[in-house]
Amino acid sequence: MNRRFPLLASALLALVLPAAVLAGKPAVSPAAVGELAKRADAPLVLDVRSPEEFAAGHVPGAVNIPHDQVATRISELDPGRWVLVYCKSGRRAGIAEGVLADAGFDVRQIDGSWLRWEAERRPVALPAATVTAE
C-alpha cells in the first residue's frame, strides 16, 4: 500500500472541508445571529472584509477589522466575549478565525458568510450618513 495515501487524503480533506469544520467549532446559521445578539452573553460580530465592503452593507452591530489586521489589532477585542466572524465567502473569516483561536478566543464563523446572509435577505446595516456644513 502506498504510504503517501493518508497524507494525500488529509491534504485533500483540508482543501474541501470548510474552515469551521476543521476548527472543530460549528458554524452559526445566519438565522441564529439575531437571537444570539439578544442574549446577555451576546457574541461580538466581526466583519473581516475590507472597509469598502463593510461600508456597502454589513451585519447589524458588526465591527470591522480587515482579516489582515486582526493579529495586530487583537487588543481591541474583549477576550471575555465570544466572536462570530464572517467575510464575503468564508476564506478570510477562516484566516481570522485561526488567529483568534490561537489567541484564546472562543470563535465561530457565520455559516455561509456574507453571501448566505444576503441570499437569505437578512437585515443589512449601512454606515450612518455624514452631514457636511455648507
Rg (CA), the chain: 17
Contacts of 106 (CB under 8 A, 6+ apart): 25, 82, 83
Catalytic residue positions? 87
Report the alpha-carbon angle 132-133-134, nearest 5: 115
Tell me how far apart the alpha carbons of residues 76 and 48 are, in angstroms, rounded to a whole number: 14
C-alpha cell at 85: 466572524
Residue type, 125: A
